[in-house]
Amino acid sequence: MVSRQLALRLSPVLAFYQVDVGEAEGLLISWRHPLHLPDAEYPHGRPYTRPFGRMAFIMENRSRAAATVILASTVNSSVCRQQGLHRYNTIDLARIARNPDHRDQHSLRAVLRIAREYLAPLWLGTYVNWDARSAELCGQPQIAAMSSTSLPGMPGSMYRFDGFERLRTSKGAKGGGHQKPSAANAIADGARGLWVYRYPEPLRS
């Protein structure tokens, strides 16, 4: 029993690791995430190009990559004025994906919950400027909510049944100026849903 427990500690059944965003990007491409499929501009798969602060994680199942998550600053400075949510008190679940070999109905929901409850708090203290601005607006650095976006053609039921509220449905940038068109525009009707989970108590450092 002792030797078995030692083996599990050295090689856990399930484990999350923080990784460079490039490693998570590679999985998003190889697992054919809809936003990272090859196209004329990126024949080897579309890279992760959001330029904001971000933290990437990989979940391993018996030392094999089973899922990946990227947390990031929100795209828009205002998330929902009516609820007082903005870039400096909301963390965005920018990407969540699972290995094609783990497409059972529970795996992605488990990853969502772990990201929301255990990974999101790691954002606090990671970016000094973000913490300073959050403290200026909120009294102290805090995360009041997590946001995420369901892809076009997807019902978003994973979010709905895990305490998220859909705030709105919209279409991405069509391009122009310095802005490139959103890759999601080419999926179904291009309309994606913005979902938000409000923490019962804000996460604080």
pLDDT at 176: 47
User: 148-184: per-residue pLDDT in tens?
Assistant: 998 765 667 888 889 999 998 776 655 544 556 666 5
Please give the Cα distance from 116 to 163 (Å, whole number): 11
Please give the Cα distance from 182 to 48 (Å, whole number): 12
User: 74-106: per-residue pLDDT in tens?
Assistant: 999 999 999 999 999 999 999 999 999 866 667
- Assess whether pLDDT exceeds 90 at residue 10: no
Instruction: Give SS3 for 98.
Output: strand
Please give the Cα distance from 58 to 69 (Å, whole number): 6
Phi-psi bin for 12: left (phi > 0), alpha (psi -120 to 50), beta?
beta
pLDDT at 205: 83
- Assess whether pLDDT exceeds 90 at residue 191: no
Instruction: Give SS3 for 119.
Output: helix
